[in-house]
Amino acid sequence: MAYDERSADLLEHSDHLVIGVSPTAAFSEDAISGMLAWGAQNFDQIAVLTVSAHQGIYTYLGRGYSLCQARRKARADERNIRNRIHTAQRNTGIEAEVWDCTCPADPAAYRNLRLGVHAAHAQNEDFNKAVNHSVTQVLKNGMPPEWQPTQGQLATGREYLNFELPYFLDTPAVQRVPASVFTYIQAPDFYRHLDPQPDSTLRMGTTQGFATWM
């Protein structure tokens, strides 16, 4: 389902789709297979954006794990989610590039978008609140019910999302494609704060769309 009118137009006319996945139970092999099948029906080119250990470590550090423990768990997550993606590709017969956020095609564009994200954390209170809410829910997953992250843990855990945000904002710039739609199983709380206005720190690319696949 397209998020807005621009996304609806791109959903109809763009030939490039990015499927966002993360190492949670929601992204089972069956779920990823379903996303690939939906993508293949609507797009000529598909890429799957997944997590690297370098990105995933921030979730575990945000939960208070030691650096050694966080590295071990993040590496296991990277292996597991990539195995699920490859199994889904094999089961569906659908080819897709597999990306992670640490290897953009245009590092300068990615870096500039990251700078905008960091500026928005400092300047845009509504965006910051929405991001903090999303990150808190992620960090609390698997932790005792009464556990709450400290401000320092929240800032650390937020780095995981900061890796991905440039792809929400402007995949065409980051990966050098003409136009692209980013899809996820649901629209994140923070998405409504991403702004197509040219003077915004969170400016979206004019050929960037978003859609939920369910």
Burial class from Cβ neighbours inside 10 Å (0-12, 13-18, 19+) for residue 201 reads middle
- 18 in a structural domain: yes
- 6 in a structural domain: no
What DSSP element (H or E) covers 170?
helix 151-175
- The one-character DSSP state at 12 is H
- 23 in a structural domain: yes
pTM: 0.89
User: What is the domain extent for residue 206?
Assistant: 13-212
- 8 in a structural domain: no
Which candidate, 124, 135, 209, places its Cα nearest to that of 167? Answer: 209
Given a contact cutoff of 8 angstroms between Cβ atoms, the answer to whether 10 and 209 are in contact is: yes
> What is the Cα–Cα distance from 66 to 124, expressed in whole angstroms?
31
Please give the chain's pLDDT, 214 residues, in tens.
Answer: 656 777 677 777 778 999 999 988 889 999 999 999 989 988 989 999 999 999 999 999 999 999 999 999 999 999 999 999 999 999 999 999 999 988 899 999 999 999 989 988 888 888 888 899 999 999 999 899 899 999 999 999 999 999 999 999 999 999 999 999 999 887 777 777 776 555 566 778 889 988 887 6
- 3 in a structural domain: no
Total count of domains within the chain: 1
